[in-house]
C-alpha cells in the first residue's frame, strides 16, 4: 500500500487530502489499540461515518478498500479478515466453507461455497457470480481496484474481461458450489487475495455500465439505498444476508450513513460535542495533532479516542543505482546518520505521538515477523559510526549535493528537513527538491530514477509479509509505477521472494519472509524510521470500535451502537 494507504483503506483514491497528513496517536499513558470506554452494544440504530472525501467506489472491481472497511459492509468475498488487538490478523472463510485447498504444487486452489447464500436482489450466490465478478475487474472500463489477481491467474496478463475476451479459462466452475483457480505460479497467499474486493459476487449481466459504482448488487449485511454524490451514501439492511454464515461481520446497526465532504477539523469537534446523530458517529480520518492535544487534556473526551499500536512503515529510500549510493557501505552509513527521534518530532510533535522506532521492514501485526536490529544505535543516531563507514567506503569528506525530492503533501517537507539536518552531522549533504504529490510520484515510480533519496510510507494491502517485501524490493516493482523507490535489484532476493510466495504453509512462508527482511537490510536499500500510529475519534454511543494489531484502522464490520 503506497503513501496513500489511508485513502485506500477507507475506499478513496482521489488526491491526497488534509486528512492523510495526520499520522498521529495518543500518548503512551493511553491504551493503543482500544478505546478508553466500554460501551454495551445491541442490534439497531443508525451508524454514521463522517469523511472529508466527496465520493467512494462501491463497485468491487474499482475498490482498493481494505477488507475491514467500507466495502466489507456491502460485499462478501470468498474469505475475510479476523482482526485482534492481541495478535496478527487471520484469514477466515466468508462465502466459502474454508480458506481454500491448494494442489501439491501451490498453483491450483479450490473453494467450495456455503449453502443458501443470496445477493440482495435474490440471486443465488453460485460459483458463476464469483467468476463473473472477477472477470469484470479485467475490463478497462472497470479498472482501478486492487489487481494482484490479474497477473497471478494464468492468462490474466492478456485477458481483457468478459465483454471482449469471453471467459477466463483459468477460473473453472465445475458446479454451482465449486470454483477452481489456476495460477501462473505457486502462490501461498492466495487465501488473502480472494478476500479482496474483486472477489465479490456480481450477477451475470449486471455491472455493464458506470452506474454500478453507486448501485451495486450487495452480498454483505447492507445494501445501497441511496447515493447522493458529494453528500451521502445510505446503507440499509440486506434482507438476504445470512448472519450465521458470516464470521467477519456483526451487522448490528439497522443502517449506516456515510456523510461525504465533511471538514476534518469540524468532524472532531462534532464528535466531541456529541449532539444528535453525532453520538452514533465516527470519523474515518486521522485526528490532527492540535485536536489530539485537546483530547488528551480532556478526560471525558479521551474515552472516545482509539489509537493503533503501530502502523505503516515510514522509511528513507536510498537509490541503489545512483553514484556513491551504489556502495552498500555508504548506504549502511545512513542507518547510523539518521536521527529517528527528530523524525518522530517532525512527524507529530513528539516521539510517543508519531509511533515506535522501526528496525525491520515487516510491519508489526504481520504473522511471521521477527524483531531484530542490524544497525543498533541510539535513537538520535551514531554520527561517529556513520563517518567511519563513509571513510571506509572512500568518502572521508562525506557526500555532497544528494538530490532529495520530497512531496509537499502531508508534512513530508518538515520530516525531510529533520533528516537533512541529521545527515549533515555525518557529512552527508542533501538538496531538498519540493514537488507536488503527483510530480513526486512520477519521479519516484517512473523509469528514469533521477534522484538519490526520498521518503516513503507503506502499509501492506493484506496481512502478509509478502505485501511488505515484494512491492518495495522486488525487481519487477522498479519503475512503471512500482514503489521500489530504492531501485533495489538482487537476484538472490528475487529468488527468495519467489520461494516465499510459492510456499503454501504460512509458518514456513513466514520464516522465509523474515529471512528476506534480514537479507535486504544487510544491503541497506532503505532506512526504517518509524511505524506510524493512527488515532480516530468516535461518538459516545459507538461501541466495539477497536483497532487490531493489523491493519492500523478500526474494523468497521464489528462496530455496534448503545441503545
pLDDT digits (tens, 9 = 90+) for 390-445: 999 999 999 999 999 999 887 899 999 999 999 999 999 999 999 999 999 999 99
Exposed/middle/buried for 158, CB within 10 Å: 0-12, 13-18, 19+?
exposed
Express each pLDDT in 518-532 by its tens digit: 999 999 999 999 999
Residue 394's contacts (CB-CB under 8 Å, 6 or more residues apart) are 327
CB of 371 closer than 8 Å to CB of 518: no
Tell me what the pLDDT averaged over the chain comes to: 91
CB of 280 closer than 8 Å to CB of 271: no
Weakest-pLDDT range from 38-42, 124-128, 378-382: 38-42
CA 385 to each of CA 337, 359, 402, 458: distance values in angstroms, whole numbers, following the listed order: 8, 17, 20, 28
Give 118's DSSP letter: B
Res 7: pLDDT: 44
Three-state SS letters, 27-47: CCCCCCCCCCCCCCCECCCEE
- Rounded Cα distance, 132 and 206, in Å: 10
Express each pLDDT in 480-521 by its tens digit: 999 999 999 999 999 999 999 999 999 999 999 999 999 999
Res 6: pLDDT: 41
Q: Please, which pLDDT band fits residue 37 given cuts at 50, 70 and 90?
A: low
Q: What share of the chain is helix, strand, coil (3-state, %, to 5)?
A: 35, 20, 50
Give the bridge partners for 259, in sequence order.
50, 232
CB of 454 closer than 8 Å to CB of 446: no
- Rounded Cα distance, 59 and 133, in Å: 10
Backbone angles phi, psi at 210, to 5 degrees: -65, -20
Residue 90 burial (CB count, 10 A): 15
Weakest-pLDDT range from 63-77, 328-342, 406-420: 406-420
- Rounded Cα distance, 126 and 264, in Å: 42
Give 287's DSSP letter: P
Res 410: pLDDT: 76
SS3 128: helix
Res 289: pLDDT: 66
Residue labelled with grid coordinates 500500500: 1
Res 99: pLDDT: 98
Largest CA distance in the chain: 73
pLDDT surpasses 80 at 23: no
SS3 537: strand
pLDDT surpasses 60 at 34: no
- Rounded Cα distance, 13 and 146, in Å: 11
**Roughly what angle, to the nearest 10 degrees, separates helices 340-348 and 412-425?**
160
Per CATH, the architecture of 313-531 is what? Roll (3.10)
At the fourth CATH level, which superfamily is domain 57-217? Answer: Periplasmic binding protein-like II (3.40.190.10)
How far apart are the two ends of the chain, measured CA to CA in Å?
Answer: 37
CA 296 to each of CA 272, 301, 346, 544: distance values in angstroms, whole numbers, following the listed order: 12, 8, 19, 21
Helices (H), 75-221: 127-136, 148-152, 162-165, 190-193
Express each pLDDT in 349-399 by its tens digit: 878 878 999 999 999 889 899 999 999 999 999 999 999 999 999 999 999
Residue ranges of domains in the chain: 57-217, 313-531
SS3 146: coil
Q: Which residues of 338-347 are buried (b: 16+ CB within 10 A; e: fewer)?
A: bbbbbbbbbb
pLDDT surpasses 50 at 20: no
Exposed/middle/buried for 350, CB within 10 Å: 0-12, 13-18, 19+?
middle
Express each pLDDT in 268-285 by its tens digit: 999 999 999 999 999 998
Instruction: Work out the average pLDDT over 450-464.
Output: 96
Amino acid at each position: 500500500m503506497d503513501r496513500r494507504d489511508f485513502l485506500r483503506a477507507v475506499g478513496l483514491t482521489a488526491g491526497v487530502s488534509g486528512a492523510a497528513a495526520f499520522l498521529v496517536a495518543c500518548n503512551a499513558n493511553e491504551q493503543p489499540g482500544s478505546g478508553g470506554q466500554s460501551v454495551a452494544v445491541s442490534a439497531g440504530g443508525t451508524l454514521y461515518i463522517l469523511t472529508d472525501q466527496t465520493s467512494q467506489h462501491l463497485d468491487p472491481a474499482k475498490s482498493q478498500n481494505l477488507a475491514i472497511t467500507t466495502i466489507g459492509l456491502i460485499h462478501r468475498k470468498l474469505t475475510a479478515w479476523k482482526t485482534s488487538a492481541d495478535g496478527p490478523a487471520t484469514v477466515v472463510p466468508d462465502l466459502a466453507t474454508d480458506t481454500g485447498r491448494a494442489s501439491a504444487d501451490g498453483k491450483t486452489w479450490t473453494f467450495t461455497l456455503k449453502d443458501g447464500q443470496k445477493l440482495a436482489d435474490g440471486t443465488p450466490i453460485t460459483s458463476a457470480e464469483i467468476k463473473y465478478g472477477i472477470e469484470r475487474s479485467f475490463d478497462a472500463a472497470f479498472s482501478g481496484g486492487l489487481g494482484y489477481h490479474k497477473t497471478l491467474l494464468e492468462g490474466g496478463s492478456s485477458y481483457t474481461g468478459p465483454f471482449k475476451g469471453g471467459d477466463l479459462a483459468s477460473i473453472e466452475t465445475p458446479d454451482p458450489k465449486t470454483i477452481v483457480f489456476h495460477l501462473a505460479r505457486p502462490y501461498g497467499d492466495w487465501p488473502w487475495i480472494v478476500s479482496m474486493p474483486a472477489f465479490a459476487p456480481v450477477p451475470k449481466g449486471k455491472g455493464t455500465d458506470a452506474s454500478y459504482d453507486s448501485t451495486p448488487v450487495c452480498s454483505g449485511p447492507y445494501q445501497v439505498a441511496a447515493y447522493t454524490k458529494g453528500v451521502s451514501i445510505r446503507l440499509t439492511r440486506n434482507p438476504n444476508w445470512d448472519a450465521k454464515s458470516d464470521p467477519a461481520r456483526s451487522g448490528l446497526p439497522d443502517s449506516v450513513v456515510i456523510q461525504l465532504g465533511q471538514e476534518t477539523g469540524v468532524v472532531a469537534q462534532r464528535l466531541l460535542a456529541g449532539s444528535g446523530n453525532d453520538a452514533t458517529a465516527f470519523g474515518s480520518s486521522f485526528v490532527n495533532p492540535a485536536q489530539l492535544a485537546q483530547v488528551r487534556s480532556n478526560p471525558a473526551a479521551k474515552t472516545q479516542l482509539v489509537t493503533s499500536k503501530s502502523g505503516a512503515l515510514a522509511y528513507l529510500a536510498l537509490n541503489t543505482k545512483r553514484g556513491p549510493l551504489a556502495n552498500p557501505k555508504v548506504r549502511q552509513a545512513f542507518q547510523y546518520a539518521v536521527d529517528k527521534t527528530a523524525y518522530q518530532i517532525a512527524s507529530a510533535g513528539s516521539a510517543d505521538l508519531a509511533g515506535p522506532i522501526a528496525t525491520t521492514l515487516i510491519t508489526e501485526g504481520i504473522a511471521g515477523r521477527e524483531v531484530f536490529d542490524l544497525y543498533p544505535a541510539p535513537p538520535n543516531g551514531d554520527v561517529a559510526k556513520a563517518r567511519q563507514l563513509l571513510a571506509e567506503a572512500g568518502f572521508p569528506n562525506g557526500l555532497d549535493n544528494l538530490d532529495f525530492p520530497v512531496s509537499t503533501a502531508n508534512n513530508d517537507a518538515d520530516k525531510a528537513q529533520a533528516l537533512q539536518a541529521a545527515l549533515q552531522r555525518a557529512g552527508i549533504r542533501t538538496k531538498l527538491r519540493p514537488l507536488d504529490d503527483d510530480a513526486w510520484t512520477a519521479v519516484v515510480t517512473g523509469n528514469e530514477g533521477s534522484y538519490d533519496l526520498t521518503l516513503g510510507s507503506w502499509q501492506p494491502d493484506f496481512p502478509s509479509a509478502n505485501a511488505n517485501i515484494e512491492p518495495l524490493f522486488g525487481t519487477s516493482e522498479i519503475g512503471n509505477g512500482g514503489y521500489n523507490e530504492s531501485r533495489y535489484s538482487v537476484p538472490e532476493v528475487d529468488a527468495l521472494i519467489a520461494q516465499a510466495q510459492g510456499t503454501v504453509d504460512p509458518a514456513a512462508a513466514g520464516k522465509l519472509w523474515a529471512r528476506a527482511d534480514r537479507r535486504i537490510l544487510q544491503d541497506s536499500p532503505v532506512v526504517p524510521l518509524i511505524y506510524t500510529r493512527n488515532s480516530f475519534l468516535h461518538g459516545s454511543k459507538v461501541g466495539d470500535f477497536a483497532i487490531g494489531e493489523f491493519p492500523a484502522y478500526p474494523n468497521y464490520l464489528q462496530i455496534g451502537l448503545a441503545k
